[in-house]
Every structure is written in C-alpha cells, then in structure tokens.
Structure 1
Amino acid sequence: MRIFIISVLIIVNFILESTIFQYTRIFGIKPDFTIILITSYAIMRGSGYGAFIGLASGFLQDTFFGYTIGINAFSYMITGYLIGISRENVFKDSYIPSIVFNLGAVFIYQHLFFLITYFTKIDISYTHAFLNIILPQSIYNAILGPFAYRLILKLDEKRFMDNKIYLFRW
C-alpha cells in the first residue's frame, strides 16, 4: 500500500506543481515541492526511496516539460540517493534535519542540473543561476520543507501505510 500511496503523491505533486504551485512564486522563484517530497522520504525511508521517488518524479517532469528526457530524472534520483545516504544519524522527528536537507537538496539538484545542461551545450550563466535561482529557491524550500515534512511523516505513520505486499525491499 505504501508504494501505491507514494505513486499517488508523486502524481498529485506533479499536477499541483504544474498548475496551482505556479502561483506561489515570490520574486519569480517558486519552491520545488518535488525536492521536498524526495527529501522527506529520503530522510524517513532511506536512499532507495529517495532515488525511486526522484527518478519517477523527474521522469514525469521530463516527459511532459523537458527538452531532453533524463535531465530531471537523473538529477532528482542522485539528489534523493545522496540525501538518503546521509540520513543515518538524524533524529527524524525534528524540524532541523528537514531544513538542512532541503537546503542541501536544492543545492545538489540545481548543481547537477546546471552541470548536465552545461555539457549539453545549453548556455546558462552560473553566477546568474546561483544568485537568482539556486540560493533563493533553497531558502524558500528550507522554509516550507518542515511543514510538508511533518504532513508526510504523519501520513507515513498511518496504519494503512504498512507494507503487506513488498514490492521493493529497501
């Protein structure tokens, strides 16, 4: 049941992020709720869940909006995996890890995305990207991340989230 609920969360997040969340921009920057979802599950469940949710979310975005399939999928997957690896010594009921990991996740994702686009000959100024996208978005995600993390944590603790059928053993 957990995998089904996570799949629904990925699809709902995709729909909301491509419609309603476009209107949550502050100074032209919108929070990346996909990163918040990936980070939350990577903190709670580990690198396998983080990588899977990142790959699925990124592939969905690449399929509908990407110029090149795989850029978002790869960047989100690596971000989820790295956040999941570093979760071992983290107190999961605190807001602080969510703030720190969301801040770091945006940095990881955006730098991977920038690096891949650089090698595909898409011309983006790093200074402009850092000052106008990476830094503001990481702060925005760090502020909103703990609230979403708390909701996702409460959902994940529900009884119906038990894995009666094990699709993945992570």
Structure 2
Amino acid sequence: MKVILWMVIVVASLILQATILPLASFNGVWPDLLLIVVVSSSLLLGKEQGVSLGFLAGLLQDLAGGNIFGVNTLSKLIIGYLFGMAERQVFKEHLLLPVLAMSIATVFNSAITFVILLLLGYKIELAPALVNNVLPLVIYNVIVAIPVHQVIYRVSKIK
C-alpha cells in the first residue's frame, strides 16, 4: 500500500511540475517539485527510500521531458542517497530542515547535472547559468519546500 501511495505522490508531483508550475515561472525557471519530494522523503525515511524515489522521479522526469535521457535519473538518485544518509542526524520536525536541505540539494543537483553535461561534451557558461538558473531555482525550491516537506512528513507517518 505504501509503495502505491509513494508512486501516486511522485506521479502527481510530475504532473504538477509539467503543467501548473511552468505557469508560475520566473525567467523560465520554476520549482523542481520532484527534487523537493525526493529530498524530503530521503531525510524523513532514509537512503533506501531516497534512492528508490530518486530513481523513479528522475526516470519519469526523463521520460516526460525531451532532454538528455538519464541526467535527471542519475542526479535525483544520487541526491536521494546523499540526503537519505543524513536521515538519523536531522531533527525531522524543524522548520529549517527543508530550507537548508533544499538549498544544498538544489546546488548539488545542478552541479551533478552540469558535470554530466560537461562530460557529454556540452559547453556551459557557468557564471550566467548560476545567476540566471541556479540562484532563482534555489529561492523557488526553498519557498515551495516548506509546505511540501510538511505534507511529506505527514505522509511518512502513515503506517
């Protein structure tokens, strides 16, 4: 039952991210709801859940998007594992948890994506990408992460 619930959450997040959130974009940047779900669930439930949801969310995002296949899968899987390792060291109810975690996760996710793209031979101008994409994405993700983390926290308590 829990597996189906988490799959519904990931699919619903993907649908919202692909349909509603682009309407609230700022300079072509909107929150990465799937990343927020992966980080929150990883911090609350551990690395196994983080890796599983990271893989599923990244795979669905790669399948739904027209970008290079596997970039989102790999980056979200890594993020799920890294933040899942911190599960026992964090205060899960603290309001600063989603703020700090999403700031770090967004930068890590962007860095992983940039490294993969550079390894594939793409040219990236880092300074404009950081100012125009990563910084607004960090701000957007932090704002959205607070209520999403509360929802994921409540769902994680369901037996």
Note the C-alpha offset of 1:77. Answer: 0.4
Question: Equivalent residues in 2 for 1:12-31 (5 A)?
Answer: 12-31=12-31
Q: Which residue of 1 aligns with 2:113?
A: 113
* Residues 35-54 of structure 1 aligned to structure 2 (within 5 Å): 35-54=35-54
Q: Supply the distance in 2 between the matched residues of 1:29 and 1:95 (Cα, whole angstroms).
A: 25
Once the two structures are superposed, the pairs formed by residues 5-154 of structure 1 within 5 Å of their partners are 5-154=5-154
Q: How many residues align?
A: 159
Q: Within 2, Cα distance between the matches of 1:116 and 1:5?
A: 31
The residue number in structure 2 matching 1:167 is none
Aligned with 2:93: secondary structure?
coil
Distance 2:135 2:86 in 1: 22
Letter in 2 for 1:15: I
Q: Which runs of 5+ in 2 are unaligned?
A: none
Using the TM superposition, give the Cα deviation of residue 62 of structure 1 relative to its aligned residue in structure 2, in angstroms. 1.2
Name the SS for the 1:104 alignment partner: helix
TM-score by length of 2: 0.94
Match of 1:165 in 2: none
Amino acid at match of 1:103: S
Distance 1:61 1:98 in 2: 22
**Distance in 2 (alpha carbons) for counterparts of 1:154 and 1:6:** 12
Task: Give the letter for the 1:109 counterpart.
Answer: N
The letter for the 2-side match of 1:50 is G
Unaligned runs of 5+ in 1: 163-170
CA RMSD of aligned residues (A): 1.3
Which of structures 1 and 2 has the bigger CA Rg?
1
**Aligned-pair CA distance for 1:143:** 1.9
3-state SS in 2 of match to 1:88: helix
2:62 and 2:69 in contact (8 A); partners too:
yes
CA contact (8 A) 2:102 2:145 kept: yes
Per the normalisation by structure 1, the TM-score is 0.88
- Percentage identity across paired residues of the two chains: 27
CA contact (8 A) 2:45 2:156 kept: no
Q: After TM superposition, what 4+ stretches of structure 1 lie above 4 angstroms from structure 2?
A: none
Q: Select between 112-121 and 59-68 the one with higher mean Cα deviation.
A: 59-68
Shift of 1:86: 2.0
